[in-house]
Amino acid sequence: MVKPVMVVGGGIAGIQAALDLADQGIKVYIVEKRPSIGGRMAQLDKTFPTLDCASCILTPKMVAVGRHPNVTLLTYSEVKEIKGSAGNFDVTILKKPRYVDESKCTGCGLCVQKCPYKATSEFNMGLGTRKAIYFEFPQAVPLIPVIDRANCAYFQKGVCRVCERFCEAKAINFNQTPEEIKLNVASIIIATGFELEDPRKKETYGYGRYANVYTSLEFERLVSATGPTSGEIVRRSDNQHPKRIVFIQCVCSRDLLVNFWCSAFCCMASTKEAILAKEHLPNVDCVVLYMDIRAFGKGYQEFFDRARQQFGIRFIRGKPAKIEEMPESKNLIVYYEDTELGYLRKIEADMVVLAVGAKLQPVGPAINLPLDEDGFVKVKNRYLSPVETEVEGIYVAGLAAGPKDIPDSVTEASAAAIKASLLALGGR
For the chain, state the CA radius of gyration. Answer: 23
* Comparison of 140 and 295: residue with beta carbon closer to other proteins: 295
Residues 6+ apart with CB under 8 A from 167: 110, 111
Using the 8-state DSSP alphabet, how is residue 186 labeled?
Answer: S
Give backbone dihedrals phi and psi of 145, rounded to 5 degrees, phi first: -75, 175
Classify burial at 327, counting beta carbons within 10 Å of its beta carbon; exposed 0-12, middle 13-18, buried 19 or more. exposed
- In angstroms, what is the minimal distance from the CB of 231 to other proteins? 33
- In angstroms, what is the minimal distance from the CB of 259 to other proteins? 10
* Comparison of 102 and 338: residue with beta carbon closer to other proteins: 338
Binding site for other proteins (CB under 8 A): 204, 250, 254-257, 291-292, 317-322, 335-339, 342-346
- In angstroms, what is the minimal distance from the CB of 204 to other proteins? 7
Beta bridge partners of 335: 322, 346
DSSP secondary structure letters along 9-62: --SHHHHHHHHHHHTTT--EEEEESSSSS-TGGGG-SEETTTTEEHHHHHHHHH
- In angstroms, what is the minimal distance from the CB of 201 to other proteins? 12
- In angstroms, what is the minimal distance from the CB of 252 to other proteins? 10
* Comparison of 81 and 255: residue with beta carbon closer to other proteins: 255
Cβ contact 332:349 at 8 Å: yes
Classify burial at 319, counting beta carbons within 10 Å of its beta carbon; exposed 0-12, middle 13-18, buried 19 or more. middle
* Comparison of 310 and 339: residue with beta carbon closer to other proteins: 339
* Comparison of 69 and 327: residue with beta carbon closer to other proteins: 327
- In angstroms, what is the minimal distance from the CB of 293 to other proteins? 13
Which of 81, 58, 87 has its CA nearest to residue 226?
58
- In angstroms, what is the minimal distance from the CB of 291 to other proteins? 5
* Comparison of 232 and 338: residue with beta carbon closer to other proteins: 338
Rounded Cα–Cα distance for residues 176 and 280 (Å):
44
* Comparison of 93 and 316: residue with beta carbon closer to other proteins: 316
Residues 6+ apart with CB under 8 A from 125: 43, 215, 217, 218, 220, 221
User: Is residue 49 reached through a cis peptide bond, with omega within 30 degrees of 0 on the bond before it?
Assistant: yes
* Comparison of 31 and 347: residue with beta carbon closer to other proteins: 347
- In angstroms, what is the minimal distance from the CB of 352 to other proteins? 14
